[in-house]
């Protein structure tokens, strides 16, 4: 006699609607074999605000993460690009080669996902580029991309910009800095000036990548993450460049 019904996924698609997975190191093989392209990824850079659904916490991450880009749109901007809804039932267009977090996630029992997160680490851009270099000649191009990633991280770090935004009173609800009295007077003006400069520098770097280095625009979310202006807009800040 069956005492307990085994819980199964009812394919409502809610987890995929909320966002695609973060890649783990074991997912490098997907890039190496070409079943996943770097154009399908966005880097969430060190210093970005992230929500940890398992620990139910919002924090500025210390390490970077590669995530499947969202399909965009107002209600669910992070909706996974591989999600297909057919007659109310969710289907995954990448099911046979889906990333590890997708295979582990079951919303009614997160034990498998927690085990995966404890055993593996997020895939970095450097490791992803190493995986790509095993498939994509010429390797000189990959070496250039590695350099671009490092130079951008050094010249345009996210953390200080989002900390400045938080000091101006622009932190996400529940984020560190929320509710703190914002800077005023000279400190306020100085912070705004530094943020405007940071946004300008980030935009100029991206332009150089496409116009001088010939990097396709579609690769920028993977190599450089989202523009700083978009990260600031996400916390409600739109610095205006009056130069």
Binding site for ligand SF4 (CB under 6 A): 16, 20-21, 80, 82-83, 92, 94, 98, 102
Instruction: State which residue, 98 or 125, has the beta carbon closest to ligand SF4.
Output: 98
Phi–psi pair at 28, nearest 5 degrees: -55, -30
Smallest distance, Å, CB 106 to ligand SF4?
Answer: 11
Smallest distance, Å, CB 224 to ligand SF4?
Answer: 23
| Rounded distance between C-alpha atoms, residue 181 and residue 169, angstroms | 7
Smallest distance, Å, CB 113 to ligand SF4?
Answer: 12
Query: Interior CA angle at 126 toward 122 and 130, to 5°?
Result: 105
Percent helix, percent strand, percent coil in the chain, to nearest 5: 45, 10, 40
Instruction: State which residue, 16 or 168, has the beta carbon closest to ligand SF4.
Output: 16
Instruction: State which residue, 16 or 198, has the beta carbon closest to ligand SF4.
Output: 16
Closest CA to 25 of 52, 60, 65: 65
Q: Is 159 exposed, middle or buried (0-12, 13-18, 19+ CB in 10 A)?
A: middle
Instruction: State which residue, 69 or 156, has the beta carbon closest to ligand SF4.
Output: 69
| Rounded distance between C-alpha atoms, residue 216 and residue 169, angstroms | 36
Instruction: State which residue, 115 or 180, has the beta carbon closest to ligand SF4.
Output: 115
């Amino acid at each position: 006699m069956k005492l307990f019904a085994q819980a199964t996924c009812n394919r409502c698609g809610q987890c995929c609607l909320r966002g695609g997975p973060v890649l783990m190191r074991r997912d490098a093989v997907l890039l190496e074999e070409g079943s996943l392209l770097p154009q399908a990824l966005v880097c969430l850079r060190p210093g970005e605000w992230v929500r940890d659904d398992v620990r139910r916490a919002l924090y500025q991450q210390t390490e970077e993460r590669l995530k499947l880009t969202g399909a965009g749109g107002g209600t669910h901007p992070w909706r996974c690009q591989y999600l297909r809804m057919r007659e109310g039932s969710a289907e995954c267009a990448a099911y046979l080669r889906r990333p590890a977090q997708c295979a582990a996630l079951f919303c009614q029992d997160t034990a498998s996902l927690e085990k995966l997160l404890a055993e593996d680490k997020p895939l970095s851009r450097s490791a992803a580029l190493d995986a790509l270099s095993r498939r994509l000649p010429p390797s000189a191009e990959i070496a250039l991309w590695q350099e671009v990633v490092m130079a951008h991280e050094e010249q345009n770090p996210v953390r200080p910009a989002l900390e400045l935004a938080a000091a101006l009173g622009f932190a996400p609800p529940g984020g560190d800095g929320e509710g703190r009295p914002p800077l005023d007077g000279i400190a306020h003006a100085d912070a705004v000036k530094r943020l405007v400069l940071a946004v300008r520098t980030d935009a100029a770097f991206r332009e150089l990548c496409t116009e001088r280095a010939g990097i396709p625009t579609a690769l920028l979310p993977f190599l450089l993450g989202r523009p700083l202006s978009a990260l600031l807009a996400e916390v409600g800040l739109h610095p205006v460049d009056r130069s």
